[in-house]
Amino acid sequence: MFRYVLTAALLLPAPTHAQPVSWGMAQCGALMDVMEDYVHQQPQKQYLDEAAVLMAAAARQQSQAEGRNTAELVKVQSAKRDAWVDMGNTMAFKAEFGDWVDYCQSLAKSYDIKLHKSMLR
């Protein structure tokens, strides 16, 4: 029996590694930056701008704590920003958008990133 369990374990795919937290923060900053482009009312536009700046700063700090090169964050953030921009103004209607907003809010709370209360549920 042990032989079968060992064989089955060896056939399972290797676990995938989650992306660094700093990358998630950078991607959240990108999302908030793109959201700010589509919002025209104050003070929400200002809140999104501030949130993007705070998430980018937190990403840099977290990247350093992870021992990573902070320069890679520019690529990560740019790629995610481009992906959101490519969706256009329909991005808010996609399930992925809601998932990312929830993730970013959770990440901000978990890492004590001081977003305006209107940005948090």
Residues 23-67 have pLDDT tens digits of 999 999 999 999 999 989 999 999 999 999 999 999 999 999 999
The two tokens of residue 93 are: 């209607």
- pLDDT of 13 over the 90 cut: no
3 domain residue, yes or no:
no
In contact, 46 and 95? CB cutoff 8 Å: no
Total structural domains within the chain: 1
71 domain residue, yes or no:
yes
Give the span between the Cα atoms of 97 and 118, in whole angstroms: 17
10 domain residue, yes or no:
no
Give the span between the Cα atoms of 17 and 30, in whole angstroms: 22
8 domain residue, yes or no:
no
Structural domain span for residue 91: 21-119
1 pLDDT band, cuts 50/70/90, is low
9 domain residue, yes or no:
no
Give the span between the Cα atoms of 59 and 110, in whole angstroms: 13
Give the span between the Cα atoms of 73 and 45, in whole angstroms: 24
Q: Is the pTM of this model over 0.95?
A: no
5 domain residue, yes or no:
no
pLDDT digits 0-9 by tens, 57-84: 999 999 999 999 989 999 999 999 999 9
H or E stretch at 92: none
Q: Which residues contact 43 (CB under 8 A, 6 or more apart)?
A: 118
